[in-house]
Amino acid sequence: ILNVEQSPQSLHVQEGDSTNFTCSFPSSNFYALHWYRWETAKSPEALFVMTLNGDEKKKGRISATLNTKEGYSYLYIKGSQPEDSATYLCASMNSGGYQKVTFGTGTKLQVIP
């Protein structure tokens, strides 16, 4: 059973602050790493899919990096806004079951105006 961990579990930041959180995943047989943004009462929304070591992806004020050798990914939010408040999920796909997705528990972000 793969173990995908996210930290912190939750955090509160002031509007305008930048923040980041971590996803760690098994580095063996790695295939892809997904980040999702999940607002309350909605469905998870895909942010990024990363596959290569050193990948960096950016979408507006949100960016992510990937280190497949050590098994971690960082998600960064620059200048947090109240609308960024959500749970951010990462999910790992490892080959030998490459479509079998293992989710982390998520990081719940609250941006205080």
Partner 1 sequence: EPEVTQTPSHQVTQMGQEVILRCVPISNHLYFYWYRQILGQKVEFLVSFYNNEISEKSEIFDDQFSVERPDGSNFTLKIRSTKLEDSAMYFCASSGSTGWGTQYFGPGTRLLVL
Interacting residues with partner 1 (CB under 8 A): 31-32, 34, 36, 42-46, 49, 51, 89, 91, 93, 97-106
In angstroms, give the least distance from the CB of 59 to partner 1. Answer: 12
Pairing verdict, β 19-24 and 72-77: antiparallel
In the complex, least distance from residue 81 CB atom to partner 1, rounded to whole angstroms: 22
Closer CB to partner 1, 77 or 93, in the complex: 93
Residues β-bridged to residue 65:
56, 74
Contact at 8 Å (CB) between 91 and 45? no
C-beta closer to partner 1: residue 46 or 112: 46
